[in-house]
Structure 1
Amino acid sequence: MSAEFLYKEYQLCFEQLRYYDTRHSDLLKYSFTLTSSIATAQFAVFQVLGSTSNSFYAQVFLSLIVFMATLLLFLGMLSNRLYFVMVARQINAIRKYMLLTEAENFKDNQLYTSTNFPVFKLSSIHTLQLIGTALISSFFAGSALFGIQMIIWSQAHIWISGVAVIVIGAAELILGFLYLNSTGKKTADEAVHKAY
C-alpha cells in the first residue's frame, strides 16, 4: 500500500474529523439559540398579558415547532456522532499501520491506535450534549402538552406534562443510544450506506 496515499488519507480524515466535531458543536448552539429565544419570547408574551389565558396557551404551536426542531437537531447530532467515530477509527487504523510498517522504530507513540472503540461512550462530551439536547426537546414537548390541555379542557395537570417529559426524553435517549450501539458495531459502509 502506498505510504503517500495513506498520508493523504490521514490528512483528509483529520480535516473531516475537525468538521464533524465543529458540526456537533454548531448543532448544539443552534439548539440552545432556538430554545432560549423561544422560551424568552414565551415569557415576554406572558409578561405582556399579565396572566395566563387561552391566548397565552395558544403558544403551544411554538412549543410544538421547537420540539420538532430540537428532535431533528438531536437526530442530526446522532448521525454526526456516528460519522465522527467512523473517521476517528480510520485515522487510528492508518496511524497503527504506519507505526507498524513505516515507523517501526518509533516506540513512544502517545496517540490512539484503537479501531474498535464504541460509538456510544457515556464519558464522551458528545454523549452529554446529546443527553442535554434530548432533555430540552422533551421539555418543549411537555410544554406543548400542557398548553394543549389548557386549550382543550381549560385546565392542565402538571403531572401529565411531567410524565410526557420523562417518557419522551427517555424514548429519545434510549432509541438514540440503541441506534449508536447497533450501527457502531458495523463497518462504515454497513452503518452509513446499509451495504452488506
Structure 2
Amino acid sequence: MDQTYLLKEYELCFEQLRFYDTRHEDLTKYLFSLTSGVTAAEFAILQFLKSTTPTFFASLAALSLIVFVATILLYVAMLQNRLYFVFVSRQINAIRRFLMTTGATDFTDNQLYTRTDLPAFRLRSLHTAHLVGAALVSSLFAGSMMYALVSSRTDVNPGAIASITVCAVACVEVVLGVVYLQSAGRESANELLAR
C-alpha cells in the first residue's frame, strides 16, 4: 500500500479530529450562553412585573419550554459529535498502528495511542462531563417549566414537582445518551451511516 495516501489520510483525520473537538467545545459554550441569557431574561421579566403573577409564570413556562427543546437538540448534537470524534480517533490510531508495524519498525518507543477499539462512552472523559452538564442544564429548564405550569395549583407542591422533573429528565437524558453511545459506538462508521 502506498504510504503517501496513509500519511495524507492521517493528516486530514487529525484536522477532522480537531474540528470535532472544537465543535464539542463550541456546542457546550453555546448551550451555556443560551441558557444564561434566557435565565437573565426570566429574571428581567420578574423584575418588570414586580411579582410572580400568572403572566410571569406563563412567560416562564414558554421560555423554559423553548430552551428545554433547544438544549435537547444541542445535547443530541453533542452526542453525535462525540461519536464522530471517536470514529476519527479510531482511524488515526489504526493508521498509526499500521505505520508503526510496517514503516517504522526501528521506532520501538511509541508513546501515542494505537488502540482502535476506543469506546464511544468513557466515564472519565471531558466530553462525558460536558454531556452530563448539558443534560443537567436541560433538565433544570424542564423543571422550571413544570414549576411554572403547576405554580397556581394549591393541591400540589410546585417545588417537589420541579425537583422530581429535574431528576427524572436528567436521568433519562444521561441514560439514553450512554445507551446511544455504547450501541452506536460498537458499529463501524460504515454500518452507522448505512442505517
> What is the aligned partner in structure 2 of residue 43 from structure 1?
43
Shifted more, 59-68 versus 44-53: the winner is: 44-53
Instruction: Report the number of matched residues.
Output: 193
Q: Deviations over 1:15-62 (max 9, x none)?
A: 100000010011001100100000011011112222111011012110
Where do residues 45-60 of structure 1 align in structure 2 (5 Å cutoff)?
Answer: 45-59=45-59, 60=61
Give the TM-score, by structure 1 length. Answer: 0.95
Once the two structures are TM-superposed, the CA of residue 156 in structure 1 deviates from its matched residue by: 5.0
3-state secondary structure, aligned to 1:86: helix
Partner of 1:98: 99
**Residue in 2 that maps onto 1:8:** 8
**Pairwise CA RMSD:** 1.2
* 1:162-173 to 2 correspondences below 5 Å: 162-173=163-174
Q: Which runs of 5+ in 1 are unaligned?
A: none
Query: How much does 1:106 deviate?
Result: 0.4
SS at match of 2:65: helix
Instruction: Give runs of ≥4 in structure 1 deviating > 4 Å.
Output: none
Give the fraction of aligned pairs with identical amino acids, expressed as a percent: 50
Q: How does 1:44-193 map to 2 (within 5 A)?
A: 44-59=44-59, 60-150=61-151, 153=153, 156-193=157-194
Q: Normalising to structure 2: TM-score of the pair?
A: 0.96
> For the residues of structure 1 that align with 2:20 and 2:63, how far apart are their CA atoms?
30
> Which amino acid counterpart does residue 41 of structure 2 have in structure 1?
A
Gaps of 5+ in 2: none
Residues 136-163 of structure 1: CA distance to partner in whole angstroms, max 9, x if unpaired?
A: 0000001011111135x37752111110
Residue 171 to residue 80, structure 1, CA distance change in 2 (3 Å): same
Letter of the structure 1 residue corresponding to residue 22 of structure 2: T
Question: Which amino acid is 1:158 matched to?
Answer: G
Say which SS state the counterpart of residue 151 (structure 2) adopts.
Answer: helix
